[in-house]
Structure 1
Amino acid sequence: MGWEWHDKFKASLTECSAAEILHRLERDVFPWIGSRPVREVTAPELLAVVRRIESRGAPETARRCLQYLSRIGRYAVATGRAERDAAADLRGCLPPANKRHFSSLTDPKDIAGLLRSIDAYQGSLVVLCALRLASMTFVRPGELRKAEWTEFNLEGAEWRIPAERMKMKEQHIVPLSRQALAVLGELHPLTGSGKYVFPSVRSSARPMSENTINGALRRMGYTKEEMTGHGFRSMASTLLNEMGWNRDAIERQLAHGERNAIRASYNFAEYLPERRRMMAAWSDFLDKLRAGAKVTPIHATAVE
């Protein structure tokens, strides 16, 4: 039934959206209930399916899959193969989405549009490169704008942000993808002789203003309710979790503070080999989105 519903309605969706919905259903739903007659599937069984998704750290995927299940249920009712939509009984069973303090884009087709808007940005090269690096590295805006050339090991493809500039007061390693290295290579002839990678337009002795990235997003047509400089972090976190990357590696790359005392023993280099693979795959994924390719998973490891 799920495949039939998707085949029936995919024409009303973009190619990317249709592919992503089918991928989520085939990965997270169909293996458990896809072969069952829809009239026999109960609300508790549906709840078990979406909670399995939620438990791996992908609450947004869980909510979306529940929406798809309800649409499939309504389609089954309309075609006479079920008397009611069992997913309707689960309304309120999943916690509501966390209200993000910083707005962000998480739909792949919206991210593709953002990346193309960045490429078409008509402002300075410094700001253009900052926007590109923000999307690839998803560091905090303050960590990005205050970046110093001495922190970068371009041969080693690594950016080491010193502890004093980190929110958690711990050195942070940012593996640099080939795309990130290309951005830095383009910018180095312009700002490489100075201290800051992204200097202020008024003085090379100061980093760019804290309002520069958000100002550029506004000029590109994005409101503060749609996207912010900090939103690149939510964007990456949401999609990387949905794609099945190790949640601990994602959190470590985001340099989030660990509140569980037992798990707080990790250091700045923990999960580094996986983080290197993840950051390279993330930049490749952004390239595919920018080019309009189908949205496909970037990590082959099982997600359950």
Structure 2
Amino acid sequence: MLSADDGFEAIAREWMRTKAKWSPATRDKAIWLFETYALPWIGKRPIRSLTPPEMLVLLRRPESLGKLETAQRLKQRCGQVFRYAIGTGRGDRDPTADLRGVLTTAHVRHHASLTRTEAVGELMRAIDSFTGHISTRCALLLSALTFVRPGELRSWEWNEINVDGDEWRIPPGKMKMGTPYIVPLSRQARAVLDEIRPVTGEAGTCSPSLRGPSRPVSENTINAALRRMSYVTNQMTAHGFRSMASTLLKEEGFNGDWIERQLAHCEKDCVRAAYNYARYLPERRKMMQAWADLPDSLRLGATVIPFHRGAVQK
């Protein structure tokens, strides 16, 4: 008789416990993926008994809902569990390996973004005249000024800002790649924080929900605000603030390494990246202030980017 440890769920959870270097976000997403799309159907099954046709039926469920990336990720995670079972002597083969090319491939989507200076000026004027809740307007401004990922903005807490108020230090557990991250705060970003502070107090989140200052802004709030300002999905998205900053900074000659570091794009060696998170910090601080000066000028109708060329050396 097989022991309980030979079931797919037991082995999947054991495998996840071996991933000590995973960030909490990565672990939570893997648990959610298994608990939503796998364990209700195959969790109690002996792992040796699962066949390619059965796994295809499992993977077709998210695929049939249009969740193509989820189906592919589920296949990847299940394959990792099967290979772990083989390595620990409780499995014979990976049935997902026979399903290569069977699932519909999700096309890579590029986040819509505004990259012409005239369009950026119009966007900033729209945000300036936004009549919605103050927390939403501040979230829009901070998205533009910091160009962090939307999830990082949502989880921003006051205690992550340094004593001088000029740096936001995000702990590794909140980052996509699990490495520390520093966001230099421009004068304009600090002014936005001063505006929202009376609403939130200095405990909890810097990006509060409309439902109360103790809860973070919802995932769809920024995108909904952009739609309210008449920007459709193929024009601008919450994630598009990153592309907007990256494109214009590169066009103006800022060092590509500074930009990539500020975008928190992890190096191939993420262990090295964890130690280098403060690299180029003096240069990035100047770059972030130069970037923050752009919306002020474009909002007032400038057509030439007022970057200080002394900060642009490659």
TM-score bracket, normalised by the shorter chain, equals: 0.5 to 0.7
The letter of the residue matching 1:213 is I
Match of 1:231 among 226, 240, 246: 240
Partner of 1:298 in structure 2?
307
- Matching of residue 244 in structure 1 with residue 267 in structure 2: no
Partner deviation per Cα, 1:98-142 (whole Å, 9 max, x = no partner): x75211000110000000000010101101011001101000001
Partner deviation per Cα, 1:218-251 (whole Å, 9 max, x = no partner): 0010001100000000000001011111100100
**Identity value in percent:** 57
- Matching of residue 176 in structure 1 with residue 182 in structure 2: no
- Matching of residue 284 in structure 1 with residue 284 in structure 2: no
The answer on whether the counterparts of 1:245 and 1:299 sit within 8 Å (CA) in structure 2 is: no
Match of 1:211 among 216, 220, 226: 220
Aligned Cα RMSD in Å?
A: 2.3
Structure possessing the higher radius of gyration over alpha carbons: 2
After superposing the two structures, state which structure 1 stretch, 253-262 or 217-226, moved more. Answer: 253-262
**Partners of 1:292 and 1:241 in 2: how far apart?**
22
The letter of the residue matching 2:193 is L
Alpha-carbon spacing, 1:245–1:100, altered in 2? closer, same or farther (3 Å): farther
Match of 2:123 among 111, 114, 117: 114
**Partners of 2:109 and 2:117 in 1: how far apart?**
18
Partner of 2:156 in structure 1?
147
Match of 1:126 among 135, 152, 169: 135
TM-aligned CA deviation for residue 145 of structure 1: 1.3
Partner of 1:200 in structure 2?
209
The letter of the residue matching 1:238 is T
The answer on whether the counterparts of 2:207 and 2:217 sit within 8 Å (CA) in structure 1 is: yes
Which segments of 5 or more consecutive residues in structure 1 lack a partner in the other structure?
1-98
**Partners of 2:251 and 2:222 in 1: how far apart?**
27
Alpha-carbon spacing, 1:292–1:251, altered in 2? closer, same or farther (3 Å): same
Alpha-carbon spacing, 1:267–1:100, altered in 2? closer, same or farther (3 Å): same
**Partners of 1:135 and 1:198 in 2: how far apart?**
14
Partner of 1:258 in structure 2?
267
Which segments of 5 or more consecutive residues in structure 2 lack a partner in the other structure?
1-107
Alpha-carbon spacing, 1:203–1:188, altered in 2? closer, same or farther (3 Å): closer
**Partners of 1:261 and 1:228 in 2: how far apart?**
28
Of structures 1 and 2, the one with the larger relative CO (CA 8 A, separation 6+) is 1
If the length of structure 1 is used for normalisation, what is the TM-score? 0.64
Alpha-carbon spacing, 1:296–1:161, altered in 2? closer, same or farther (3 Å): same
TM-aligned CA deviation for residue 201 of structure 1: 1.9
**Partners of 1:270 and 1:215 in 2: how far apart?**
35
Q: Per the alignment, in what secondary structure is the counterpart of residue 164 of structure 2? A: coil
If the length of structure 2 is used for normalisation, what is the TM-score? 0.62
Partner of 2:95 in structure 1?
none
The answer on whether the counterparts of 2:154 and 2:217 sit within 8 Å (CA) in structure 1 is: yes
TM-aligned CA deviation for residue 268 of structure 1: 1.0
Partner of 2:112 in structure 1?
103
TM-aligned CA deviation for residue 260 of structure 1: 6.7
Partner of 2:279 in structure 1?
270
The answer on whether the counterparts of 1:161 and 1:172 sit within 8 Å (CA) in structure 2 is: yes
Q: Per the alignment, in what secondary structure is the counterpart of residue 168 of structure 2? A: strand
